[in-house]
Chains A and B, each alone.
Chain A
Amino acid sequence: AQSVTQLGSHVSVSEGALVLLRCNYSSSVPPYLFWYVQYPNQGLQLLLKYTSAATLVKGINGFEAEFKKSETSFHLTKPSAHMSDAAEYFCAVSEDTDKLIFGTGTRLQVFP
């Protein structure tokens, strides 16, 4: 069965600092992996997705994630945090880009 683990329900960084949100997955088949973001009072928005092409995936707003099969990880990074990045981030896995299995989410706070 597929599952996703997001380490750290809350992450705080200073503006301009590196953002690193961790995601580990479990899947019996080559997975499709996603990062979604939810800004306050909005729906989930796709940041980026991995679908077995390049292992380093670039998304919107300067975010990127690297698929590491040996570590079963898909961590999300951004070199320099901005105040507008404050939101909740969800990692998800899917066998066929159909039904999504989500992690519990990580709330990112950015301090000035």
Chain B
Amino acid sequence: EAGVTQFPSHSVIEKGQTVTLRCDPISGHDNLYWYRRVMGKEIKFLLHFVKESKQDESGMPNNRFLAERTGGTYSTLKVQPAELEDSGVYFCASSRTVNTEAFFGQGTRLTVV
């Protein structure tokens, strides 16, 4: 069974550009989470999808971040326009139900220059 897959693994963009991160959860997992780790700090929750619906988006930093999960399968996280402070590692995780283990992807390292 394939694990959680994230694309790209690395992205370097200029300030003001747009970047879209993608997450493919484990097949059959209704719950999908996005987290972010800014260098040297803790991993912070961004948002939680249940199927295609946003269950909790309390961690989204601002309106430059847009997450979607059309059809309840893969999810995208778009940053537009990117700022320097958006640099970090973005993790995606999925779980079958909220009471079962969440499996994490390898993360996307985003660098905004």
Docked complex Cα distance between A92 and B33 (Å): 15
Chain A interface size, under 10 / 10 to 19 / 20 to 34 / 35 or more: 20 to 34
A71 beta carbon closer than 8 Å to chain B: no
Residues of A within 8 A of B3 (CB): 43
Q: Identify A102's interface contact among B4, B43, B48, CB under 8 A.
A: B43
User: Is there contact, CB below 8 Å, between A46 and B106?
Assistant: no
Docked complex Cα distance between A97 and B95 (Å): 10
Which of A42, A44, A46, A104 has most B Cβ within 10 Å? A44
Known: A41-B106, A42-B106, A43-B105. A97 touches B98 (CB 8 A): yes
Residues of B within 8 A of A44 (CB): 43, 91, 93, 104
Query: In the assembled complex, how far is the CB of residue B42 from the closest CB belonging to chain A, in whole angstroms?
Result: 5
Residues of A within 8 A of B59 (CB): 99
Docked complex Cα distance between A101 and B42 (Å): 9
User: Is there contact, CB below 8 Å, between B105 and A97?
Assistant: no
Known: A43-B4, A44-B91. A99 touches B106 (CB 8 A): no
Query: In the assembled complex, how far is the CB of residue A28 from the closest CB belonging to chain B, in whole angstroms?
Result: 17
User: Is there contact, CB below 8 Å, between A90 and B43?
Assistant: yes
Docked complex Cα distance between A93 and B101 (Å): 13
Q: Identify B56's interface contact among A46, A99, A103, CB under 8 A.
A: A99
Query: In the assembled complex, how far is the CB of residue B39 from the closest CB belonging to chain A, in whole angstroms?
Result: 11
A100 beta carbon closer than 8 Å to chain B: yes
Closest B residue to A5 by beta carbon equals: B42
Query: In the assembled complex, how far is the CB of residue B7 from the closest CB belonging to chain A, in whole angstroms?
Result: 13
Contact mask B13-33 → A, CB, 8 Å, 1/0? Answer: 000000000000000000101
Known: A102-B44, A104-B42. A96 touches B106 (CB 8 A): no
Across the A-B interface, give the 7 residue pairs with the lowest CB-CB distance, nearest first: A44-B104, A102-B43, A43-B104, A43-B106, A98-B98, A104-B42, A102-B42
